[in-house]
Structure 1
Amino acid sequence: MGHDAFAHRGLGSAALVIIGALHARPAQTVAELVGSSSVSRATLYRTLRRLADHGLVHHSGETWTLAPRALEGFGDHPPEAVVEEIAEPARGWDAVATRHGTAGVASRRKAVHAAERAAYQRVLERLSEHRSKAVVIVRDGRQVVVPAPRPDEVPTAWHAPDGCVLDPVTGRAAPDWRIATDGRLILITPADQRSYNELAAAHAEARSEWESAA
């Protein structure tokens, strides 16, 4: 399936399925191939004609069979065939791909996918540069990564027993804030319309004042 001969605009994936069906059970009619290959009748007729043009399949009456070396991509003229029925017998899958203009499709597709993955990785790296850097500590001889706290995560020193938040400057409970069960800040006043970035900046400023005071 990965060969360029079976790429889109080449023989197509249906050709590989039909070849496999005829290899498993030779001399099948179109009706039988519809069942054994699970290919629609219209696609079956179109693909059989394409394979016949390469001499890869032959029909006798209502039945179709593979050419002797069809699995290798080599077609031939059956003795009873009219020469004009076969445009040019295939001479290997590479030749089939070249004839259909699909040679090199797989390698180009792999190159595109590799470039897309590299571009995606560069985007991830740029995004990671904007994230807070984690702290690495050594415990029992192992390096442990401790993520930097989010701006809405409350340090333990700010916790009050009743769920309030202690003002880091005054040491008194801040009336507009509470601590959620997950340890993050909840702003309970509708008067404060600051954005998350503004709250994060205020958090950083308050934390800096707290650490300098300590």
Structure 2
Amino acid sequence: MGHDAFAHHGLGSSALMIIGALTLHSRQTAAELVGTSSVSRATTYRTLRRLADHGLVHHAGEVWVLTPHALEGLGNSRPEAATGPDARLARGWDEIAQRHGTAGIAARRKALHATQRAKYRAALDRIAEHRSVAVVIVRDGRQVCIPGPRPDEIPSAWHASGGRVLDPLTGRAAPDWRIATDGRLILITPADQRSYDELAAAQALSEWNSAA
């Protein structure tokens, strides 16, 4: 299926399904192939004609069979076989892909998907590495840079019942702050003008004092 010959504008996936069905059960009518290949009736007839033009299948009456080297992509047609005006025996899957203009499409698709995956991983990394603006506090005359925690990583010490937030300095619930269901802090009134980073700095200072 990954070969360029079976790309959308080449033989198509329906050709692969019909070849597979004839490989498992040779000598099938078109009506039987509709069931064994799981391809619609119209597509089955259209695909059989395309494969016959490449010399990959032929029929005797209503029964279709693969030609001797069809699995190698090599066409072989009997002299009495009915073929279309554009019939030309295939000389391998690569030649078929070249003929249909689909050669190299799998490699290009693979490269495109690799680029998309790399961009997706880079975007995830940027999200994962996102931090709030760092907070600078002064301790013993020295400036200490405290990176703010991620909004979805609020320390458990801040949590109180009912979605309330504990003030890390006082140990009491901060009346104007709540924790949303996504873990972000919400300032519900303008009475307390402390920012998210100020709360983060207060938590960092509290942990500093505890460690000291």
TM over 0.5: yes
Shift in Å at residue 204 of structure 1? Answer: 2.1
Letter in 1 for 2:25: R
Structure 1 counterpart of 2:142: none
Distance 1:149 1:101, change over 3 A: closer
Distance across 2 between alignment mates of 1:25 and 1:127: 53
Give the percent of matched residue pairs that are identical in Structure 1 and Structure 2.
Answer: 50
Question: Are 2:27 and 2:64, in contact at CA under 8 Å, matched by a contact in 1?
Answer: yes
Letter in 2 for 1:155: A
Shift in Å at residue 61 of structure 1? Answer: 1.1
Is 1:201 aligned to 2:200, yes or no?
no
Distance across 1 between alignment mates of 2:81 and 2:172: 97
Q: Any idea what SS the aligned residue of 1:81 has?
A: coil
Give a deviation string over 1:19-63, Cα, whole Å, max 9, x none: 111111211111111111111101101111110110111111111
Distance across 2 between alignment mates of 1:72 and 1:53: 16
Structure 1 counterpart of 2:71: 71
Shift in Å at residue 175 of structure 1? Answer: 6.1
Distance 1:42 1:194, change over 3 A: farther
Output the aligned Cα RMSD: 3.7
Distance 1:40 1:165, change over 3 A: closer
Residues 17-166 of structure 1 aligned to structure 2 (within 5 Å): 17-82=17-82, 87-131=87-131, 152-153=154-155, 155=157, 165=166
Shift in Å at residue 81 of structure 1? Answer: 2.1
Letter in 2 for 1:176: P
Structure 2 counterpart of 1:145: none
Question: Are 1:177 and 1:185, in contact at CA under 8 Å, matched by a contact in 2?
Answer: no
Letter in 2 for 1:206: A
Output the TM-score relative to the length of structure 2: 0.72
Shift in Å at residue 166 of structure 1? Answer: 5.5
Shift in Å at residue 191 of structure 1? Answer: 3.4
Distance 1:174 1:128, change over 3 A: closer
Distance across 1 between alignment mates of 2:97 and 2:123: 36
Question: Are 1:165 and 1:177, in contact at CA under 8 Å, matched by a contact in 2?
Answer: no
Letter in 1 for 2:59: H
Distance 1:108 1:164, change over 3 A: closer
Unaligned stretches of 5+ in structure 2? Answer: 133-148
Q: Any idea what SS the aligned residue of 1:155 has?
A: helix
Unaligned stretches of 5+ in structure 1? Answer: 133-147
User: Number of matched residues?
Assistant: 188
Shift in Å at residue 117 of structure 1? Answer: 1.4
Give a deviation string over 1:64-117, Cα, whole Å, max 9, x none: 111110010011221322576561100010011100001111111111111111
Distance 1:80 1:164, change over 3 A: closer
